[in-house]
Amino acid sequence: MVKQSPHYKRILLKLSGEALAGDKGFGIHHDTIERITEEIKAIHGLGTEIAIVVGGGNIFRGIAGTAQGMDRAASDYMGMLATVINSMALQDCLEKRGIYTRVMSAIGMSQIAEPYIRRRAIRHLEKKRVVIFAAGTGNPFFTTDTAASLRAMEVGADIIMKATRVDGVYDSDPETNADAVMFKQLDYIEVLKNNLKVMDSTAISLCMDNSLPILVFNLNIPGNLKRVVLGDEIGTFVRREK
pLDDT digits (tens, 9 = 90+) for 181-212: 999 999 999 999 999 989 999 999 999 999 99
Tell me, what's the pLDDT at 22? 86
CB 151 within 8 A of CB 206: no
Tell me, what's the pLDDT at 19? 92
CB 80 within 8 A of CB 107: yes
Distance CA 55, CA 59 (A): 9
Tell me, what's the pLDDT at 3? 66
* Mean pLDDT, each 10-residue run in order, the chain (242 residues): 82 95 88 96 97 94 71 93 96 97 97 97 98 97 96 98 95 89 96 92 96 96 96 94 69
What are the start-end ranges of the E strands in the chain? 10-15, 49-54, 101-105, 114-115, 130-134, 159-164, 169-170, 182-183, 185-186, 214-218, 236-238
CB 219 within 8 A of CB 168: no
Residue type, 133: F
Tell me, what's the pLDDT at 69? 82
Distance CA 150, CA 76 (A): 18
Single out the residue of 80, 54, 62, 37 nearest to residue 222, CA to CA. 37
Domains of the chain, start order:
10-238 (3.40.1160.10)
Tell me, what's the pLDDT at 229? 97
Tell me, what's the pLDDT at 24? 81
pTM of the model: 0.94
Q: What is the maximum span of the chain, computed from C-alpha positions, in angstroms?
A: 59
CB 227 within 8 A of CB 43: no
Instruction: Dihedral sign for Cα 201, 26, 219, 126, please.
Output: positive
